[in-house]
Amino acid sequence: MMLSPQELERYARHIVLREIGGPGQQKLGRARVLVIGAGGLGAPLLLYLAAAGVGTIGIVDDDAVSLSNLQRQVIHATPDLGLLKTESAAGAIRRLNPHVEVVAHIARLTAANARELVRGYDLVADGSDNFSTRYAVSDACFHEGKPLITAAIGTFDATLTTIRGHEKGADGTPNPTYRCLFPDAPPPGMVPTCSEVGVIGALAGVVGAMMALEVIREIVGFGQGLVGRLMMIDMRDMRFETIRYRWDPDNPLSGAKAEAPA
Active site residues: 194
Residues 177, 181, 187, 191: what is their CA dihedral angle, to the nearest 10 degrees? -120
Computed on alpha carbons and rounded to an integer, the radius of gyration of the chain in Å comes to 18
Q: How far apart are CA 227 and CA 153, in angstroms?
A: 19
3-state secondary structure labels for all residues of 59-107: EECCCECCHHHHHCCCCCCHHHCCCEHHHHHHHHHHHHCCCCEEEEECC
* Residues 60 and 116: beta-carbon distance below 8 Å: no
In 3-state terms, the chain is what percent helix, strand and coil (to 5)?
40, 20, 45
The residues that bridge with 227 in the sheet, in sequence order, are 162
